[in-house]
Chain A
Amino acid sequence: MRRTDTAQRGAAIAALLIIPLIALSGCSRAEPETRIRFTAMGTLVEVTIFGTAEQEAEAAAREVEALFGDLQRRWDPWHDGQLGRINATAGTGQVPEVSIELADMLDRAAQISRDSQGLFDPAIGGLIRLWGFQDGDNPPTEPPSATEIERALDDSRPFTELWDGRDRSLRLPAGTAIDLGGFAKGEAVDLAIELIRARGITDAIVNAGGDLRAIGRHGDRNWRIGIRDPRDQDVLAAIEVAGDESVFTSGDYERYFIYDERRYHHILDPRDGQPSRGTVSVTVLHTEAALADAAATALFVAGPQQWEETARLLGLDRVMLIADSGTIYLTPEMEKRVRLREAAASAVVVRSLESH
């Protein structure tokens, strides 16, 4: 019968149309990506591993978790780990015991401190404690008095004076304390990546509270990293990372309080003991996370006037500094790498780091 015949033909054609459409719109391919999150060093740490069987990836991530927990205890400036006990010897005349790993770390920190002309200084623990920024969960609510700050400054010494690179020992006068805050996260991330690599994993990201090191790629595409705007929730710039690279940002929005309509944040200028002014955030790209971490801090303190010189001295070429004024400073290499969102394009100034 023609009617049913046409209807059947119509149905067949429709089926031919629908089935490929359904297939096209079909479910996304399951990708072997494992993400494990845990809390350590006062922040959320996320380990992303690509292309490895879930069980193996999870085991590796848990090993990283244990590593972070261990390092946190060791490097906490105020409690009973190695660094805490070292700080407790301040003013006692005792020479504290420093393990080989810590000595290596302090050597490198001293080098960065010298290169940055003291803008990065791990010996400002006393000042940090005065301000109350040592506990991330309990931020302070008001600034210390000028007198207190002056006294703390008088007590403090540059790290390079306290650390003897030759016999690898520390001598801490009263009122001084080592706080590896601007360096420890980077160091932990480096060690975590080493651990992951040792297990034969080649594609991963270790992200500690937003600061990360990424190795390899995400399958057949690069890792896509978004750099968040310091003032709102949006992504300000996108970067692709492949091979081995760290992305570290220091910002005035990480630990801060507002008092009398002024923002007081945790990145103190070692020269005057006050939160450094003029900069909103600094992002550094570099292979090694520890250097990227310390450098971001140093460059923040250097500010819009001095950052180029400091970046040059530290041997960096990929830096972004966002100033109070809203201007976004980029090195030429950084400009090639970041894709800024539309609205930000007009605020960009590229500076080449060449000595003037």
Chain B
Amino acid sequence: MPQPIRSDPSTSGQDDRLIAGFAALAIAIHILEAAFPSPLPGVKPGLANVVTLIVYLRHGLQMAVWVAAMRVLVGSLLVGTFLSPTFMLSVTGAAGALAALAVTGRIGGRHVGPVGLSVVSALTHMSGQVFVAYHLFIPHPALLKLVPILLTAALLFGTVSGLIAANVLRLLARPAAATA
């Protein structure tokens, strides 16, 4: 199992394993997404953002950034898309989602939960990818026609992811809930 980077000395050993597990999960989802058909090559729904969100809510922004970076790098290496257009789209998507999480988390504070954070980060993720896709790869008007649909999908995904994340966090917070 890969050793997590110890940037926060207060993190317990169990959390270390959890974070590593999350990273692995995120990578797995990333690979899974690569297998899915997509309306635009490389533009992904961002399912792995669920993991990023959970890590962010449980362990803070820095850990979330780490897990996301791991996911994008290792995931692309394993799938074989490292430094490809798909990779750039992944990076943009992940970066956008993280930025959105950070900003929304800071502004919203207590009033915003996993669902809200997830929706914002999913929309940012998708918008970022579309932006890069349009300007760098396919500057064709037909792409613009797909945008409303892609955004709607992102909105739905974001809501579902948020609910999933909320449930997961609840499970993890139960005192007796021990995950090996």
Contact = CB atoms under 8 A, between A and B. Distances in A.
Chain A in direct contact with chain B (Cβ < 8 angstroms): yes
Contacts of B37: 15, 19
B180 interface: no
A19 B146 CA distance: 12
A10 B165 CA distance: 13
B156 A17 contact: yes
Interface in B148-166: 149, 152-153, 156-157, 160-161, 164
A4 B145 CA distance: 32
Contacts of A18: 39, 149, 153
B47 A7 contact: yes
A17 B157 CA distance: 11
B47 A11 contact: yes
Interface residues of A, number: 17
Interface stretch (A21-29, A235-243, A295-303, A348-356): A21-29
B83 interface: no
A138 interface: no
A14 B156 contact: yes
A27 B142 CA distance: 8
Nearest to A8: B32
B164 A17 contact: no
B74 interface: no
Nearest to A10: B160
B64 to A, nearest CB: 17
A7 B156 contact: no
A6 B45 CA distance: 15
Q: Is the interface of A mostly helix, strand, loop or mixed?
A: helix
B162 to A, nearest CB: 11
Given A18-B149, A18-B153, A27-B142, A6 B39 contact: no
Contacts of B161: 10
Contacts of B146: 22, 25
A18 B153 CA distance: 7
A10 B160 CA distance: 7
Interface string B113-152: 0000000000000000000000000000010011001001
Interface in B23-74: 25, 28-29, 32-33, 36-37, 39, 45, 47, 50
Nearest to A28: B142
A144 to B, nearest CB: 52
Nearest to B154: A14
Contact of B164 (A7, A14, A19): A7
B47 A10 contact: yes
Nearest to B29: A7
Interface string A163-190: 0000000000000000000000000000
Contacts of B157: 10, 14
Contacts of B25: 3-4
16 contacts: A3-B25, A3-B168, A4-B29, A7-B164, A8-B32, A10-B157, A11-B47, A14-B157, A15-B36, A17-B153, A21-B149, A21-B152, A21-B153, A22-B39, A22-B146, A22-B149
Given A11-B32, A22-B39, 15 more contacts: A3-B25, A3-B168, A7-B164, A10-B161, A11-B45, A11-B47, A13-B160, A14-B45, A14-B153, A14-B160, A17-B153, A18-B149, A22-B146, A25-B145, A25-B149
